[in-house]
A and B are shown apart, each in its own frame.
Chain A
């Protein structure tokens, strides 16, 4: 039973991708409906898997002695992430049927989206680290292809290439880790490693731990790799919702959470993780405060919230980070899809040109406000519960100065969220735009997400149970019921955080009276607009690589004989080296 479910949730989207591509772009309606069919079917398969989680391998493909077996394990962490990937994936596909109506080359779009969904499910369910690397790179490829979907727009292509390069550099860290793992434990299976991390000597374990941290930071757009996510906003909005908010960027957090029991004793690893999370959260929040592009604000907020999750993992609260991941996927996908609806109808991404959109699009206004309240951490919504659990875990497991900064960031989150909502939906229109109402498909996609943002925290009991002993024996996650959750959250750290959020909201409402204060912060704005120097670093790296490549181009003559001469010369050198060395 479980074998079929796993095969369905990975295989159905891939079959769908092939079929949608082969059907051809002339049959647009068929393409839309096929994609919806396959993604919803995969979602159903993943949801049914929730009742079948276990720590045993569900699907095993034997590949012979050298490469180990390709195993897939439906444990709590993997199944929960695959449910998110497929369900939010199907909602994004439903949204795309209306958002991408009339676009050319839809076959390419849907094929890559479905391919991506299958690869993401494979990534979180597999326990063979080489296969995990393989799926990791597939998601990076799909992300690049979808960001650069409008490949006649140079900004989109540039954003796509940047995302690909940065996440691939992270992938090198993962590959290095995989090879070290194989060298010291003799197998590619990560269960063997997590149960007995001492099989790898301490120095190599540190290399492994920090390599994985680099891979996770690059994939999840954490410090110092955070520059690719805002530039990836050239992608169509359903893609931003699916890949850059709910699934692919969670792969980094997933990696850290999965390997936490093995790395938690490596010297300075936990501190490094916490500092990476904190810096990302802080820098991204500052940059969100000054940005005027609606999607960029949401992108920065994604980086910031991911920083919270990474911080929680570093402090030892793996359950807290996964709970926040759950809430964040829902409300961030909601925000991106709603923003997509606004941008699609208004025609621009610049917030200074919007204003008063709420009068024309009431449905979108309300769902966006629900998402924004969840993001800011206002009580009752799921963002509040998960953020408080994260902060409590952080205070319990890490130094309190980091906790203090995270509370400050929570206040800033509230501030930029309410700024965003105000600038877009309230007030008077600041330019001449023509907004039309949303269509049914968009409403069908947005409504479940809004509902989820309101009530998903109620599922904390079963959620913590599937993450518990039965499926993740080394993580020691206790199960938590709703009354226990409420009791744990209503403590002093929560009150401090609520005060910070309230201050953030009040700052905005009193902004006209605080003009002097705002002027003083203008110097920050210049730095934030240039993303604190990271863009400059990126451009410098690109320039140096280009000039090196130009110099090396002289060796490419295009004549076969030169190449063979080169092979012969290399052979001679190699053999001579072996001879002299022996």
Chain B
């Protein structure tokens, strides 16, 4: 286990982002989509702080990370509110049934 630490953190970032993307590619449930987005954003925050640590400007990285966390929380809030409304109005959360764009 003598991989340098940045690589271990990088592996954590990639596993988070990768899992999130994998879930987005395969899921059909709207709430799972929000879960996947949350995972990806955690990976992004970790990546920001890692980068800040490597260039020794942690305060700038923290500022950007705060902005990202705020934005992603708002996305989760509105996404869940939308999911609740869609469930109430159409009775289903399945993406395939909901995709009714006219072709």
Q: Classify A-B as touching or not with yes or no (CB < 8 A).
A: yes
B25 touches A559 (CB 8 A): no
User: CB within 8 A of A558: which of B21, B26, B101?
Assistant: B101
B95 touches A559 (CB 8 A): yes
User: CB within 8 A of B25: which of A553, A557, A558, A565?
Assistant: A565
Q: How far is the CB of B17 from chain A (nearest CB, A)?
A: 10
A1 on interface, CB distance cutoff 8 Å: no
A564 on interface, CB distance cutoff 8 Å: yes
Seed contacts A553-B103, A560-B33, A564-B24; 18 additional CB < 8 Å A-B pairs = A556-B101, A557-B99, A557-B101, A558-B99, A558-B100, A558-B101, A559-B95, A559-B99, A560-B24, A560-B95, A560-B99, A561-B25, A561-B27, A561-B28, A561-B95, A564-B21, A568-B21, A568-B25
Q: How far is the CB of A574 from chain B (nearest CB, A)?
A: 15
Map CB proximity to B onto A554-582 as digits: 1 under 8 Å, 0 otherwise.
10111111001100100000000000000
Contacts of B95 in A (CB 8 A): 559-561
B96 on interface, CB distance cutoff 8 Å: yes
Within 359-414 of A, Cβ neighbours of B (below 8 Å) are at none
Q: Measured between alpha carbons, how far is A568 from B24 in the docked complex, in Å?
A: 11
Q: How far is the CB of A551 from chain B (nearest CB, A)?
A: 13
Map CB proximity to A onto B65-103 as digits: 1 under 8 Å, 0 otherwise.
000000000000000000000000000000110011101
Residue in chain B with minimal CB distance to A563: B24
Contacts of B100 in A (CB 8 A): 558
Q: Measured between alpha carbons, how far is A565 from B21 in the docked complex, in Å?
A: 9
Map CB proximity to A onto B47-76 as digits: 1 under 8 Å, 0 otherwise.
000000000000000000000000000000
Contacts of A558 in B (CB 8 A): 99-101
Q: Measured between alpha carbons, how far is A554 from B103 in the docked complex, in Å?
A: 7
B101 touches A561 (CB 8 A): no
Residue in chain A with minimal CB distance to B20: A564
Within 11-40 of B, Cβ neighbours of A (below 8 Å) are at 21, 24-28, 33
Contacts of B27 in A (CB 8 A): 561
A561 touches B21 (CB 8 A): no
Q: Which range holds the interface residue count of chain B?
A: 10 to 19
Q: Measured between alpha carbons, how far is A373 from B95 in the docked complex, in Å?
A: 67
Q: How far is the CB of A178 from chain B (nearest CB, A)?
A: 24
Contacts of A557 in B (CB 8 A): 99, 101
Contacts of A556 in B (CB 8 A): 101
Contacts of A568 in B (CB 8 A): 21, 25
Q: How far is the CB of A556 from chain B (nearest CB, A)?
A: 6
Q: How far is the CB of A484 from chain B (nearest CB, A)?
A: 59
Q: Measured between alpha carbons, how far is A556 from B100 in the docked complex, in Å?
A: 11
Q: Measured between alpha carbons, how far is A556 from B102 in the docked complex, in Å?
A: 10
Contacts of B103 in A (CB 8 A): 553-554
Q: Measured between alpha carbons, how far is A559 from B27 in the docked complex, in Å?
A: 11
Q: Measured between alpha carbons, how far is A550 from B82 in the docked complex, in Å?
A: 29
Q: Measured between alpha carbons, how far is A482 from B95 in the docked complex, in Å?
A: 75
Q: How far is the CB of A558 from chain B (nearest CB, A)?
A: 4
Map CB proximity to B onto A533-562 as digits: 1 under 8 Å, 0 otherwise.
000000000000000000001101111110
Q: Measured between alpha carbons, how far is A560 from B26 in the docked complex, in Å?
A: 10
Contacts of A554 in B (CB 8 A): 103
Q: How far is the CB of B21 from chain A (nearest CB, A)?
A: 6
Q: How far is the CB of A327 from chain B (nearest CB, A)?
A: 51
Q: How far is the CB of B93 from chain A (nearest CB, A)?
A: 12
Residue in chain B with minimal CB distance to A562: B99
Q: Measured between alpha carbons, how far is A561 from B21 in the docked complex, in Å?
A: 10
Q: Measured between alpha carbons, how far is A560 from B95 in the docked complex, in Å?
A: 7
B101 touches A564 (CB 8 A): no
Q: Measured between alpha carbons, how far is A557 from B95 in the docked complex, in Å?
A: 11
Residue in chain A with minimal CB distance to B36: A564
Name the residue among A558, A559, A560, A568 with the largest chain B CB count within 10 angstroms.
A560
Contacts of B96 in A (CB 8 A): 559
Q: How far is the CB of B87 from chain A (nearest CB, A)?
A: 16
Contacts of A553 in B (CB 8 A): 103
Q: Measured between alpha carbons, how far is A561 from B28 in the docked complex, in Å?
A: 8
Residue in chain A with minimal CB distance to B28: A561
Q: How far is the CB of A65 from chain B (nearest CB, A)?
A: 12
Residue in chain A with minimal CB distance to B95: A560
Q: How far is the CB of B82 from chain A (nearest CB, A)?
A: 13
Q: Measured between alpha carbons, how far is A558 from B95 in the docked complex, in Å?
A: 9
A564 touches B25 (CB 8 A): yes
Contacts of B28 in A (CB 8 A): 561
Contacts of A565 in B (CB 8 A): 25
Residue in chain B with minimal CB distance to A568: B21
Q: Measured between alpha carbons, how far is A565 from B24 in the docked complex, in Å?
A: 9
Q: How far is the CB of A305 from chain B (nearest CB, A)?
A: 47
Contacts of A561 in B (CB 8 A): 24-28, 95
